[in-house]
Amino acid sequence: MDEKIKNMVDKIQLIGHAAVRIAASKTIYIDPWKLPASMGGDGDLVLVTHNHYDHFSVPDIKKALAKDGKTLVAECCREQFPTASLYTLAYMKHRIAGLDVYATAAYNTDKQFHTREMGFVGYIIELDGVKIYQTGDCDAFPHMRDFECDIVLLPVSGTYVMNPSQAVDAVNMLKPKVAIPIHWGDPDVVGSRKDAEEFQRLAPCEVVIKDPIR
């Protein structure tokens, strides 16, 4: 693994479920939910992929933010969170908190939990020379072939999102250097370490399983 990418992988924390913290030259939270009491107040940027309760928590967004932190959230969250710095639809590029962020689509191909019409998103973030893609809640979809990333964080729990074998389909299109499985590890939502380990067994790239910290 390239040293720059390895260093970035080391700076990525799975808080739990799909909540992620990246602490590099900027500190980024993605879909903060159930933040530990000791965490927060340092977020230069908070990203929200969609408005389902296990991804979109206004108290946790506010807790995560630094004093001058910025928020970039999916347009579907506007009514519930009218004070975001920016809202986004799929396939929009943003410059925010000193970072380049691209909002991708995020949707199911064989389920109705996350349809295209709902306007849910994922994010590709350029941070310290590394492209990190958090796919949001989705299945593997054809347009992933057009995305470039070094590290991908993608769901593996099945039911509402891709399962381990479908996550492999996504990796085959994206061709990342490293994949980190998410959407598991919370007792209130589907997904277990077994899902992450099955994805690791099947994936054609290096897979790093992060233990949830809450």
Domain at 109, CATH number: 3.60.15.10
Phi, then psi, of 7 in degrees rounded to 5: -60, -40
pLDDT of residue 6: 97
pLDDT at 167 over 90: yes
Average pLDDT, the chain: 97
pLDDT of residue 214: 85
Poorest-pLDDT segment among 131-135, 162-166, 187-191, 206-210: 187-191
The answer to the question of residue 213 being in a domain is no
Work out how many domains the chain is built from and give that number. 1
pLDDT-derived band at 72 (thresholds 50, 70, 90) equals very high
Over range 197-207, report the average pLDDT.
98
What does the pLDDT look like over 25-36, one tens digit per residue?
A: 999 999 999 999
| Strand extents, DSSP E, 36-182 | 43-48, 65-74, 86-88, 92-96, 99-105, 121-127, 130-134, 151-155, 178-182
Q: Within its chain, how far is the Cα of 35 from the centroid?
A: 15
**Global pTM exceeds 0.95:** yes
Query: Kind of pairing, strands 12-16 and 92-96?
Result: unpaired
pLDDT of residue 8: 98
The answer to the question of residue 212 being in a domain is no
Q: Which domain holds residue 94?
A: 3-207
pLDDT of residue 147: 98
CA pair distance 187, 97, nearest whole angstrom: 33
Share of the chain above pLDDT 70, in %: 100
